[in-house]
Structure 1
Amino acid sequence: MRITRATVLAACLVTALTISLPSAASSPEPISGATISNSSNVKLANDRIVLGDAPAAVGSTEVKQRSGLAELTPVRFPAATSAVLAQYAVSTPDGSAANVDVRAWVNDRWSEWTPAASGVPTALPGASDQVQLRIIVSAPPTGRAPWVGEVRVQPTDKTTVSGMTTQAAPLTSRVFATREGLVGGTTANGHVIVSRDHFVALPSRRGLSSKGSGAYSVKVCTASRCAFEPVWDVGPWNTKDDYWNPSATREMWKDLPQGRPESQAAYQNGYNGGKDQFGRTVANPAGIDLADGTFWDGLGLTNNAWVDATYLWTGDGGRGTVSITSGYLNLRNSASSSGAVVGMAGKSAQVTVECQTTGQSVSGSQGTSNIWLRVHPGMYVAKAWVAAGTFSTC
């Protein structure tokens, strides 16, 4: 669902270069005429973003709730800022919740989403002149709907320190992977799960891509195969366990080391009494859920298994984006379509690029090319299907 021209309150974020923003010293005002760039199960009512009417669904967290998401149009500031001040009004009746997050365009890519409390300066991971806000509303299966309105954002010169950093190399951790399944269900970003789908779920919305986007993607590897997939759902077990972040900046479980999921600590060591954030007894140490196509086809798994997961947005390095309309892109063990399949990359997923080499000429969405990209040792994809720049020769 796409919502446009939300006037006054809910659509207070400006489109780039068309509306002047208030200065850091002035009082922020609502700005009309902007758009909501991506949304799922939300509606506009009295100029507020309100949870929509879709019924509660069981997602990868196995917790029934109604939920909705809206990404507002990015804001372009006159100059780069290291912090922003968001202000908004919320209503959360009957045990519901409403959250506002912010991210910044840093080093030619979007940073991770981080909570933006109303009226409190929020540090960005780096100086940026472009930010985006996201609204997430959720509620029990019955009851009144939560809403967010009067949203405003502006740069601020308040002293803040960001705990979010981008490493030279993305974090990789050894985690237990389970199969999500749930064909026909709806993920946290509004994607309807199809048979042998390609995506993953992680237990925090900080790394949740919007529907159809691979802004937050992971590389998941076994000893012999790898899959590059977008993060389109939240789970397993927890919803506020961004375990890939440094301990001090995790949403919850700050006493756990970076890279260790709370569910793993609960299952293996009795952490938190062996329970997840919802008080359920943790029955396995899963730190990532894999859609069926990722699980069966991409990685060739037949049972839940330990894998190496790399959270690509947490580090620098060469990137490309899989540009296909559906399905997946095969990873080959040589620069040829006759090479053995050693993994897959899902639609819109980002892939790491180590170097490029010449090989078989292939025609795809990016034209005809004999350039192949090495995305992992011994694994190649045809550049004809990947939107990417030029890289050093292998």
Structure 2
Amino acid sequence: MRHQTLFRSGRLGALALTLVAGMIAGTGLPAQADPVRQDDPSNTWSADLVTIDDDDTNVTNVDGRLRLADLTRTPASLRRPVPEGMLVTATHQLATPADLVTADYKGVGPGAGAGTGVTIEVRGQQADGEWGEWREAGTALSEPTLLVQVRVVLTGANATIGELALSATLTASPKTHAATPGLTYRVFATREGLVGGTTANGHVITSRDHFVALPSRRGLAARNAGDYTVKVCTTSGTLRCEYAPVWDVGPWNTTDDYWNPSATRQSWKDLPQGRPEAQAAYQNNYNGGEDQFGRQVANPAGIDLADGTFWDGLKLTDNSWVNVSYLWTGTGSRATLGNDLLNIRPSASTSGTALGYVAPYSRVPVECFATGTTVTGTYRTSNQWDRLATGQFISHAYVASITGGTVAAC
């Protein structure tokens, strides 16, 4: 049996559950929380490695062992022929707040080279109602929680796992959340393309698709979810932005959460915060000019953009420097979109020239709301418009829910 420790980020349970009652001003729309697994709260439990559902990718359970289902499937953005799959467990309610989870697992087969094997990752729900980043063994996260979720990642043909036992304890005091916009860095963006390929979360890439890839699973959302969404904006010419979910891992690396400070950054802690390893390798011959897999880095990319985000959202014609905001690193109210590609307008009106898009399933910040053109959308008919940032409005008619507290008038 192998043993790993995982720090679990999360939110205090009482506060977590009361946030569900938050109402968006002027609409009567209740904030919605993620569904909680209906079992007895416990700080020791066993993960279900048998049930495979829609948020799991390329895994199967044979004779009580979780293994890869397709040995030819690899995350599209990485362009690396090593198969990978993952299982995301149901959320688990703890009996008492905790920020440290230990994981005991057995029956792990050997990997097939560098960067292969089994990784156990964990996340918790924060005091603002958002999920914290996925973190791996031995890495401290931000705060105690009463709601946790575990992800098992298999990399390489021989990676398997039998049983997984978990235990949660408290090591730190709760944090108080203040509204913050999140981290923003200027990085080089490349076009992912690869239509017909499969992303790390199991999404099959379509023509003019809308999502992004980042070189770390810490910010990887499940398929058709936007827990981890970025705002990507052009840095030259006419300003255009797109809010898009993180659905793939890459380019180049898989352990480069460069947006985090060195104290919590998974790899390359000596690099400045906000500087991708691929950029340092390409520009400064860092790591001998190679990525984590020993490949010579051919461009400084810190983000991959799907074709629709690249061509239609930002109207780029070539790989380019962009400003990226990692929205889950901020706090405050969030709007969750359904399966609609939504125009960003400069005012609360359909007559304004579109400034970009909010991609389907994104979760975006809401600063305040304004009254404007009445729109009939997926969820309601409404004259309310939600302001995401200065000069960026979306129709509330297409917003599935608001979480993180009450939104006031602008």
* Contact kept? 2:262, 2:270, Cα under 8 Å: yes
Matched, 1:376 2:385: no
In the alignment, the residues of structure 1 paired with residue 304 and residue 57 of structure 2 have an alpha-carbon distance, to the nearest angstrom, of 21
Question: Which deviates further from its counterpart, 187-196 or 104-113?
Answer: 104-113
Correspondent of 1:334 among 347, 357, 382? 347
Q: Which residue of 1 aligns with 2:267?
A: 252
Correspondences of 1:53-202 after superposition (within 5 Å): 53-57=70-74, 59-89=76-106, 90-95=108-113, 96-107=116-127, 108-116=129-137, 123-139=140-156, 144-157=157-170, 159=171, 168-202=180-214
Alignment-mate amino acid for residue 343 of structure 1: G
Q: Which residue matches 1:212?
A: 224
Q: 2:361, 2:75 → 1: CA distance? A: 25
In 1, Cα distance between equivalents of 2:135 and 2:112: 25
Instruction: Find the aligned partners of 2:48 and 2:253 in 1 and give their Cα distance.
Output: 37
How many residues get paired?
Answer: 363
User: 2 CA distance for matches of 1:293 and 1:166?
Assistant: 34
Identity, in percent, stands at 49
Q: Tell me the SS of whatever aligns to 1:236.
A: coil
Find the aligned partners of 2:50 and 2:369 in 1 and give their Cα distance: 41
Residue deviations 1:367-387 (CA, integer Å, cap 9, x gap): 111000111221211011113
The residue type equivalent to 1:45 in the other structure is V
Letter in 1 for 2:254: T
Structure 2 CA distance for aligned equivalents of residues 270 and 124 of structure 1: 31
User: Taking structure 1 as reference, are residues 281 and 124 closer, same or farther at Cα in structure 2, changes over 3 Å only?
Assistant: closer
Change (3 A) 1:149 1:19: farther
**Offset, 1:93:** 4.1
Following superposition, the deviation at residue 36 of structure 1 comes to 4.9
String of CA shifts for 1:279-321, please: whole Å, max 9, x gaps: 2221111100000000000011111111100000111122111
Partner in structure 2 of residue 8 of structure 1: none
Give per-residue Cα distances to partners, 1:209-258, cap 9 Å, x unaligned.
01111000000011411100000001111111000111121111000111
Aligned-partner Cα distance in 2 for 1:189–1:93: 21
The equivalent of 1:203 in structure 2 is 215
What does the per-residue CA deviation read over 1:39-84, in whole Å, with 9 as the maximum and x for residues that have no partner?
1110011222111125144621221111111101111111211222
Corresponding letter in the other structure for 1:393: A
Q: Residues 287, 58 of structure 1: CA spacing in aligned structure 2 closer, same or farther, 3 A cutoff? A: same
Q: Does 1:392 align with 2:408?
A: yes
After superposition, give the CA deviation of every residue in 1:77-126 in whole Å (9 maximum; x if it has no partner). Answer: 11211222222122224334111100001121111000036xxxx64421
Q: Residues 166 and 111 (structure 1 numbering): CA distance in 2 closer, same or farther, change over 3 Å? A: farther
* Distance of aligned partners of 1:264 and 1:20 in 2 relative to their CA distance in 1, 3 Å threshold: closer
Counterpart contact for 1:41–1:52, Cα < 8 Å: yes
1:18 aligned to 2:39?
Answer: yes
Q: Return the alpha-carbon distance in structure 1 between the equivalents of residues 126 and 183 of structure 2.
A: 18
Partner of 2:335: 320
2:143·2:172 contact (CA, 8 Å) conserved in 1? Answer: no
User: 1:235 aligned to 250, 253, 257, which one?
Assistant: 250
> Which range moved further: 122-131 or 33-42?
33-42
Q: Given the alignment of the two structures, is residue 343 of structure 1 paired with residue 344 of structure 2, yes or no?
A: no
Paired residue secondary structure (2:202):
coil
Q: Provide the secondary structure at the position in 2 that maps to 1:384.
A: helix
Mapped to 2, the partners of 1:303 and 1:235 lie a distance apart of 18
Contact 2:144 2:172 in 1 (8 A): no
Q: Who is 2:241 aligned against? A: 226
The amino acid of 2:191's aligned partner reads R
Give the stretch that moved more between structures: 371-380 or 194-203. 371-380
Q: Is the 8 A contact 1:34 1:73 kept in 2?
A: no
Cα offset, 1:392, TM superposition: 1.9
Alignment CA distance shift 1:30-1:357 (3 Å): closer
Indicate if the aligned counterparts of 1:174 and 1:308 stay in contact, CA closer than 8 A: yes
Equivalent position SS for 2:163: strand
**Cα deviation per residue 1:102-161 (whole Å; 9 max; x = unaligned)?**
0001121111000036xxxx644211111000011111xxxx53112211112224x479
3-state secondary structure, aligned to 1:248: coil
CA distance change for structure 1 residues 43 and 161 in 2, over 3 Å: closer, same or farther? Answer: farther
- DSSP-derived class of the 2:263 partner: helix
Q: 367, 371, 378: which is aligned to 1:358?
A: 371
**Is the Cα contact below 8 Å between 1:36 and 1:72 reproduced in 2?**
no
CA distance in 1, matches of 2:279, 2:205: 26
- Please give the alpha-carbon distance, in whole angstroms, between the structure 1 residues aligned to 2:123 and 2:150: 7
Instruction: Name the CA shift for 1:270/1:123 in 2 (closer, same or farther; >3 Å).
Output: closer
Q: Distance in 2 between matches of 1:348 and 1:72?
A: 20
8 Å CA contact retained: 1:123, 1:161: no
Does 2:58 match 1:41? yes
How many angstroms apart in 2 are the aligned matches of 1:17 and 1:134? 19
